[in-house]
Structure 1
Amino acid sequence: MIEKKPETSSKEASTSASLDVVETQGFDVKQTKRLLRKLDLRIIPFMSLIYLLCFLDRTNIGNARLDHLEQDLHLKGIQYNDCLAILFPFYIAAEIPSNMMMKRIRPSIWLTFIMVCWSASMIGQGFVKSYSGLMATRVFLGVFEGGLYPGVNYYITQWYCRDECGFRMALFFSAATLAGAFGGILARGIAEMSGVGGIAAWAWIFILEGLLSILVSFGAYWAIYDYPSEATFLTKKERDEVERRLKADSGHLSNEFNVKYVWQAIKDWKIYIHCLICMAGFCPIYSFSLFLPTIIKNMGYKANDAQLMSVPPYVCACFFTILGSWLADRYRKRGVFLLGFQVIAILGFALLRGSGKASIQYTGTVFAAIGIYPQIPLGLAWNSGNIGGSLKRGTGIAMQVMGGNCGGIIAAYVYLSRDAPRFKVGHSILIGFVSMAFALTLFMSIWCYQENRRRDTVMATESETRELTDEEKEMEKELADNVPWFRYTS
């Protein structure tokens, strides 16, 4: 129950997601850690697996390019770039409707449906014979993949408190870095199948990876647990505790399905700032994942060696993505960690831009990977943790990922063949995007800190201590994160 109290108590309310506060009325710290471990083992691994497959299917065209995709399909000029870009408008358009479907129907049904559909699209991509055929399959891939990333991020917020989501989102998103590493190794092996069954190596990459995805999708319905209240792997006491913790974390903020909360998110200026930060993060990520094999090949490596040399940057990125978000959750800070990784990313692209020496350029790819990948889970956790109310949060996450994936459209045209082998223009563009993200992150960190201080001051002026009336609770539902006791993560 939320109470209006003097300054000291209001600060306690602002950290409602922390274990030492939330657990005062439920499980003790040891029991809570055991509960979280149980949730982690049942939820995160499968979510990470399906995102690994999703990201692999979306970006494996970069590996296929090294196995003569362009030559076999007679692509000319920027037609290859067009095939990359066409995915994203449809990917973006699917995101908010998909998250609304996640709220309307069961996650197990919806996520299984979109996974089967994108896997079929991926297999179909292996049988295209022309530019128009590749464009068409990329459209369908975008439509069905668009709902996964915002959907899973929203799904995680339905199981964990705000200060626990960042690390879980990082574990989930780290699958994207593993997809890059796994994709390079897999592509190197599949290259040996060139000509088998009269099918080129690039086509086998699409077909086999699509088949892998569709096999996993057949088990998704039974592997995905819908909501805590229906989780059969939890005891009755544990289910009640998960729901109690979520309620304590969100207070009286609404969890009902009402379109007014969608509009509330659409009119929130803070979400648009996070959209731009996310766009400036996704643009270098997509550029990196789609073109890294090409960039490494242009350093002087052979095609097969370039596939393998693309693995180490992703391994480093995976480690720092998880470490950065774990530290951010522990210290309950997002902005400062984002700023640090943005500086590392700028350094990486500057090394790529400034030197023609292969060893320095390769070092630049490692720094760039370390700097860009942690930004997405940190940014998603920051935005979602600062949105009050279930449906508004789901919409806000989808909006942020929509904005982020606008960066994918730009990314398709960052590295053009005419700029090879150094791609100086492309590296400069990405330095500019990450610098924009740095400026916006600094602004939001300062704003959140100052707004929290302002709310502390307002709460401190109220001398009485009393419970909220039913009318006041209903009013707070409408205010979402604008309620006086809500505190932003800075």
Structure 2
Amino acid sequence: MFGGTAISPLLGAALLKLDGKCGLFGWQWIFLVEGLFSIVVSIFLFCFLPEHKDVPVMSNQVNISHFEGIRPMKEPLAQGHLPLRSLWNTLTDIRKWPHFIATGCVFATWSPLTTYTPSIFMELGFARSKANAFSAIGSLLTLPVILLFAWISDKLNKRGLTVMVAIFVYLIALVILRTMMHRVDKWGKLGLWTTVNALAVGYHPIHNSWIQINCQSPEERNISVA
């Protein structure tokens, strides 16, 4: 997902250079090429991705005791629908509320920042194609960041602590951005925005996996991830 987020601005920067070709604006080329790509991939997945299989039984030879707080999968997969009872039980499970609240708080800032980063960079004075290309830097830096926190999580075997540290690091980056934004030139601002984008979701893969392995059924897992 984050690799795609990194590649998308680079692709957009390249497509913007087609501005005027075949009577289309650059933004129209972006919608056309990326839209067609999405349609092709969706058709491919629809045709070849299997619906679902029986829940796999974990081998008795695999020792999972070192994973923090894993609860075994107990219920079979529902056929074709998610029962309302599963939805209610998942949303009223207070043990999941910290997961939901943390995700909401982070994505409330990260999602708009990522969406409008090219526009923000253009307001700093960079050309449209350069603004799109610069937007990819933060997303590319996200990849080693999430791998670092994943490694720390496995090394310490402390999922919750690692998630909290990763979110706190992002919070520090936001505070620095807020206090320094009007004290630096455009390159400094670009660096601050890039740092924020790079650190925003370091927690997310660990957090996402952590909540999934603590679900007792496929329905609970699907609702929790959603």
TM-score by length of 2: 0.79
Equivalent residues in 2 for 1:449-460 (5 A)? Answer: none
One-letter identity of the residue aligned with 1:332? N
Question: Paired residue for 1:200?
Answer: 25
Query: Is residue 2:129 matched to residue 1:304?
Result: yes
Match of 1:395 among 208, 223, 226: 223
1:266 aligns with 2:94: no
**Aligned equivalents of 1:216, 1:396: Cα separation in 2:** 25
Structure 1 residues 395 and 188, CA gap change in structure 2 (3 angstroms): closer
Q: Please report how far the alpha carbon of residue 184 of structure 1 lies from its aligned counterpart in structure 2 after TM superposition.
A: 1.7
**1:413-456 deviations in Å (ceiling 9; x for gaps):** xxxxxxxxxxxxxxxxxxxxxxxxxxxxxxxxxxxxxxxxxxxx
Q: Is 1:347 aligned to 2:161, yes or no?
A: no
Judge conservation of contact 2:17–2:26 (CA < 8 Å) in 1: yes
Find the counterpart in structure 1 of residue 38 from structure 2.
213
> By percentage of residues, which structure has more helix?
1
In structure 2, runs of 5+ residues without a counterpart are: 65-69
Q: Is the 8 A contact 1:228 1:243 kept in 2?
A: no
| In the alignment, structure 1 residue 373 sits paired with structure 2 residue 208 | no
Identify the residue that residue 292 of structure 1 maps to in structure 2: 117
Q: Which amino acid aligns with 2:193?
A: T
Point out which structure has higher relative CO (alpha carbons under 8 A, 6+ apart). Answer: 2
Q: 1:349 to 1:266 in 2, by over 3 A?
A: closer
Other-structure match for 1:253 = 74
Instruction: Tell me what 1:83 maps to.
Output: none
The residue matched to 1:255 in structure 2 has which SS?
A: coil
1:364 paired residue number = 192
Measured after TM superposition, the shift of residue 190 of structure 1 is: 1.1
Task: Answer whether contact 2:141 2:198 (CA < 8 A) is retained.
Answer: yes
Cα distance between partner residues in 2 of 1:192 and 1:370: 26
Alignment of 1:398-409 (within 5 A): 398=226
Deviation (angstroms), 1:354: 2.2
Following superposition, the deviation at residue 307 of structure 1 comes to 1.4
Q: 2:140 aligns with which of 304, 308, 315?
A: 315
Deviations 1:218-238 (CA, angstroms, capped at 9, x unpaired):
3224553444669xxxxxxxx
> Are the equivalent residues in 2 in contact too, given 1:181–1:314 (CA < 8 A)?
yes
Of 4, 8, 13 in structure 2, the residue corresponding to residue 188 of structure 1 is: 13
The equivalent of 1:324 in structure 2 is 149
CA contact 2:145–2:198 (8 Å) conserved in 1: yes
| 1:261-310 deviation digits (Å, cap 9, x = unpaired) | 33321321222332211111211221121111122223332222211111
State whether structure 2 residue 58 is matched by structure 1 residue 244. Answer: yes
Residues 320 and 228 (structure 1), Cα distance of their counterparts in 2 relative to 1, 3 Å cut:
farther
Which residue in the other structure is 1:123 paired with?
Answer: none
1:318, 1:217 → 2: CA distance? 25
Aligned pair count reads: 212
**Which has the higher mean CA deviation after the structures are superposed, 201-210 or 303-312?**
303-312
Unaligned runs of 5+ in 1: 1-174, 231-241, 399-490
- Quick one: which amino acid aligns to residue 375 of structure 1? Y
Alpha-carbon distance between aligned partners in 1 of 2:73 and 2:53, rounded to the nearest angstrom: 18
Whose Rg is larger?
1
Instruction: Decide whether the 8 Å contact of 1:384 with 1:397 is kept in 2.
Output: yes
RMSD: 2.8
**Cα distance in 1, alignment partners of residues 156 and 43 from structure 2:** 39
1:397–1:180 CA distance, 2 compared to 1 (3 A):
closer
- 2:4 aligned partner, one-letter code: A
Q: How far apart are the structure 1 equivalents of 2:216 and 2:23?
A: 55
Q: How does 1:75-90 map to 2 (within 5 A)?
A: none
Taking the aligned partners of 1:273 and 1:343, their CA distance within structure 2 comes to 15
Match of 2:67 in 1: none
- Aligned partner letter, 1:303: R
TM-score, normalised by the number of residues in structure 1 = 0.39
Deviation, 1:332, is: 3.0
Q: CA deviation at 1:350?
A: 2.7
**Distance change >3 Å, CA 278–CA 390, structure 1 → 2:** same
Separation in structure 2 between the aligned mates of residue 250 and residue 222 of structure 1, nearest angstrom = 33
Task: Name the structure 1 match of 2:100.
Answer: 275
Q: Secondary structure at the match of 2:17?
A: helix
8 Å CA contact 1:185, 1:308 repeated in 2: yes
- Displacement, 1:211? 0.7
Shift of 1:339: 2.1
Identity, in percent, stands at 17
Instruction: Decide whether the 8 Å contact of 2:54 with 2:77 is kept in 1.
Output: no
Say if 1:219 and 1:291 are closer, same or farther in 2 by CA, change over 3 A: same
